Structure 1
């Protein structure tokens, strides 16, 4: 697998979390376990042990002096924050591990990065393209919250010619099985290809809208997340985001 490194962003390594007591979910997020919101669920599920005691109380305060494990694995604060763009290939899933034995996108990064990285947002198994990974829980929570309204741009190719008004309908809004789907922008590039920009990104939104119109999708690729473009990266390639890209993403967040 080729590795494309076109810039890296390594922020200040000083971490105030290590010097004071913080809420357990904050500690988990700063340890690269998951985003703060996902860490809350991990705690509520009884997967966290602090100094030998299972803790399910979200308000629990901890510091780096405490022995904290998640699923039996000892965790500690990660001083170096990572922000990585991956061109997720087809056929891999966006989970930390898969009970069905399918390849996981994060596995493509493990040889290069020792930090525990997790994806911000998802792409389904049959879609490919831009996917961001990080160990910065605050960054992940800000970007993934619906109120952030970060644009995601997709190129969609169909097996059959596109219905003439599908792009316009998608921009106005389409209701499918009681769920309302609306693209921020949609443009027919040719008879079999459309550019779609989403800000909310409901589950399988593009696929549901196309299926509702009787159109089978042949290829679906995410080419941009906010100010971060996939560019010429090949499937399986990854790179560190630049400082400008990281700050640009946070600046675009409306929350």
Structure 2
């Protein structure tokens, strides 16, 4: 191959379709990136782009939600202990603290949260620049378990938890608990698989109980452990492999029935 042809091929390889560019930058999977583009959240060289197939040149400046993004070959996977009062996004139009404020710039660059915790909730949050893995983990079909500690000021009736395990409907949305452990009359550990927006707060509010604390302690095989509020760590290779395996297995198997309730008092 001539030098001219080699240079031509090299230049072509550096050009990417916008949705591929976003996926390589860890924003989202390619399919999810297409929806992000259509929603008008992406700008190329200062111009909002909503059309598929836009080609990004090596020197182009791409922004997602006002933040510059670039593809990276090095994948980063972080476990973060989110404190209360932080928003689970990369930026906030209201100027509230965001979770990436807790991570140094050289680490946080091009990182995005996998899922969310609401403003008041605390605990384990995963961040990565691997858009494909993030999309698989967040997709409802992955069936990845998420474990929470919920504390209330009033006793939590076990019959309510049994109803939750069977499935309950609130304002046209169905919520289902995988299993639970009662640690005290006002403290329970709950395991969800799908984890809809503000699910636990909506369910407890429908019972007339306002959670005093909603704290996530586990996602799949990743545990928060002794990570302090505001602290973070890199995932181990075993944890990364487990997430990949769990998300792949969830998409391949049919949804299983909920496990029987387990009760443990301390």
User: In the TM superposition, what is the alpha-carbon distance from 1:40 to its structure 2 partner?
Assistant: 2.1
Q: Does 1:191 align with 2:166?
A: no
Which whole-Å deviations, capped at 9, do the CAs of 1:174-230 have from their partners, x for residues lacking one?
122222111111222210111111111111111111111111211110000001000
Q: Residues 158 and 50 from structure 1, CA distance in 2 versus in 1: closer, same or farther, beyond 3 angstroms?
A: closer
Quick check: 245-254 or 178-187, which moved more? Answer: 178-187
In 2, Cα distance between the equivalents of 1:111 and 1:84? 14
Structure of greater relative contact order (alpha carbons < 8 Å, 6+ residues apart): 1
Moved over 6 A (4+): none
Larger radius of gyration: 2
Q: Structure 2 length normalisation: TM-score?
A: 0.80
What SS does the aligned partner of 1:113 have?
A: helix
Note if 1:179 corresponds to 2:167.
no
* Alignment partner of 1:164 is 2:158: yes
Contact 1:94–1:124 (CA under 8 A) maintained in structure 2? yes
- The whole-number CA distance in structure 2 between the counterparts of 1:117 and 1:104 is 12
Q: 1:70 aligns with which of 57, 60, 63?
A: 63
Could you tell me which of 50, 67, 83 is aligned with 2:77? 83
- Superposed counterparts of 1:1-255, under 5 Å: 19=13, 22-48=16-42, 55-62=49-56, 65=58, 67-70=60-63, 75-113=69-107, 115-253=109-247, 254-255=250-251
- Structure 1 position 55, deviation (Å): 3.8
User: 2:3: which partner in 1?
Assistant: none
In structure 1, list runs of 5 or more residues that go unmatched. Answer: 1-17
Question: Which range is displaced more, 67-76 or 226-235?
Answer: 67-76
Q: Which residue of 2 aligns with 1:3?
A: none
TM-score, structure 1 normalization: 0.84
